[in-house]
Structure formats: structure tokens, C-alpha cells
Amino acid sequence: MANLKLGKLPDRTPSKITITVSAGLSQVLQEYAALYRDTYGESETVAELIPFILAGFLEGDRAFAKARKEALQAARMPGKPRRLPDSNSE
């Protein structure tokens, strides 16, 4: 088997998730889409923007990134219990 520099590509099958948001959040998302259009000159629907908004939020959450990194490291070390921080810790 060849030793390629590029590893096997991850699963790129999209997952559809349906959510319901409050009227207030819906309005804020519409305002965000309007500001996006004014800023970049391209109109995107709220549904098209939400995955990128969520990705940015998750990437910016340092507590989540730390817990995720620790969980991945624990998963690679057999025999060591996986522990995620409780919801009250930062």
C-alpha cells in the first residue's frame, strides 16, 4: 500500500438537522443575513448561514475545545476512563 502524504478523506455526507427558534432569534438571524448581504454584496439565506455561525461558535468555545481534546486523547489511551468536565466548571 502506498504511503500518501494526504490521509483518507473524512466522511463528507451532510447531516440534516431541523431546529425551531424563537421569534426573537429568528429576527436576529434575519438581521444578520441582511448585514451579511450589505457587507459582502451576496445574499445568503439564514439556513445557509447557520452552519457557519455554529461552526464559528464551537471553534471559539475554549472550554469545549479543551474538553473535546481531552476526550480524544483519553479515547486513544486504552484503559483510561473518559471524563468530560461537569457543566459547572469552566
* Integer Cα distance of 2 and 89 in angstroms: 46
Q: Does residue 62 sit within a domain?
A: yes
Question: Shortest CA distance to 37 belongs to which of 45, 25, 27?
Answer: 45
Q: Does residue 88 sit within a domain?
A: no
For the question of whether the overall pTM of this predicted structure is more than 0.75, the answer is: no
Rounded to 5 degrees, φ, ψ at 39 are -75, -45
Q: Does residue 4 sit within a domain?
A: no
Q: Does residue 67 sit within a domain?
A: yes
Domain that holds residue 36: 23-76
Task: State pLDDT tens for residues 2-33.
Answer: 888 888 888 889 999 999 999 999 999 999 99
Q: Domain count of the chain?
A: 1
Helix locations, 41-61, DSSP H: 46-60
Task: State pLDDT tens for residues 30-47.
Answer: 999 999 999 999 999 999
